[in-house]
Structure 1
């Protein structure tokens, strides 16, 4: 089986969709994606908690437990590791490995790069096989673009397996960063930014979707209700009740479309 690290060195960039529950992960895997990430925003919104506030540690671990045995490689968005104590972040990483995760995404939130490097080193010491994608928020949060290379250099030295710069969309800056790095560069896909083939030409090795699929799903729900309210038939793909029911099951339990009703 291809390892998660090997997917970052294939003929094309790893296109990583991000799921927020069991059904979305299984649907994406069934569509041929060999690896699935989680979205911290999608998870937080689904359970009514704030994103980026270290409030969803337990929920993230429960989601990893639900997804870690799936037919795909799993990378978990763990915000900043849910602690400023590197040992506690390392313990969370060990728990992720125990439930089947292949990777972890750790963001610096424009905090101390030295502390973030300590977290990365602690995770690699505690869980050497866990693929660490070290994210810097210099472009995402703005105001510190000139600090990007210094931060990424520190994260490389700490043992990161890849680095992630969400918010970076300018092609020349991407290409320059690829040349500077010794590790795979992960870019967050933006509908307003370069296409996936263009990112591949620039040397990007991983393209993440972040919360885009979750936000699109919410948008589709609202559009559907608007169409219905205005007397029109909504368009778009709609999986059947049976298809979704099958995706929601953690095994291959037999079921039938005709034995269930989707009436609330």
Structure 2
């Protein structure tokens, strides 16, 4: 599958009809989601980290890209990968590693370890370099961490999103933005908006109703699976 196919999935979507992308953490979960009929997948870095025995943000790049490659090989649908802040790689190295792994999209964060926001113009300049290296071969989902690592100011989120889309991002991801702010964010942002659903956040139906273009789950699905296994293990010992 190509980035063109994946990019087209984001475009022209009506309110209430978001692109829903499950988050696989290994080849087996990826196959399960693809066989359930989902048109594309979005790998969460936190889910992969947990599956490999690392804390979120601590997965060595070689292991992350190897995990991405295994997931891509397991399915025939487009796969996007959360590669955090780019692992300190140059834009050319980062794009090369993603394409080598077979990914057609990526998430890129605008905070350091989810705690300190990056300078938005400097980050936009870096995103522009990633876009220049990738051409149209990657769908770039630019994470906006205003509600995670900042003061939660919608105006800041809109300003960052505008810089990132101008730099070439295909989609912006105001992670943890309250769903009721989506209309305000939509008024200020041109292009697709990714929101996160899960047990500790809004539901898919709620986010669809508020106008999300794309819905992902972060590590929620991997954590749900581990919870189910934990319950099974306890029952087997009862």
Q: Using the TM superposition, give the Cα deviation of residue 52 of structure 1 relative to its aligned residue in structure 2, in angstroms.
A: 2.4
1:205 aligns with 2:209: no
In the alignment, is residue 42 of structure 1 matched against residue 51 of structure 2?
Answer: no
SS in 2 for 1:4: helix
Q: Which residue of 2 aligns with 1:255?
A: none
After superposition, the CA RMSD in angstroms is 1.9
Q: What residue number does 2:85 align with?
A: 80
Structure 2 match to 1:169: 178
**What is the TM-score normalised by the length of structure 2?**
0.87
SS in 2 for 1:200: helix
Residues 82 and 89, structure 1, Cα contact 8 Å, conserved in 2: no
Structure number with higher relative contact order (C-alpha < 8 Å, ≥ 6 residues apart): 2
Greater helix proportion:
2
Is residue 19 of structure 2 the alignment partner of residue 14 of structure 1? Answer: yes
Report the equivalent of 2:62. 58
Q: TM-score, normalising length from structure 1?
A: 0.79
Question: Does the 8 Å contact 1:20/1:43 carry over to 2?
Answer: yes
Residue 114 (structure 2) aligns with: none
Q: Which runs of 5+ in 1 are unaligned?
A: 232-264
1:133 touches 1:162 (CA, 8 Å); kept in 2? yes
2:140 & 2:77 partners in 1: Cα distance?
17
Structure 2 residue runs without a partner (length 5+):
112-116
Cα deviation per residue 1:17-75 (whole Å; 9 max; x = unaligned)? 1111111111110110110111111111222223225x431112112221234211000
Name the structure 2 match of 1:248. Answer: none
Q: Which residue of 2 aligns with 1:101?
A: 103
Alpha-carbon offset, residue 192 of structure 1: 5.2
State the aligned residue count: 225
Change in 2 beyond 3 A, CA 1:164/1:227: same
Q: For the pair shown, which has the larger CA radius of gyration, 1 or 2? A: 1
- C-alpha displacement at 1:142, in angstroms? 4.6
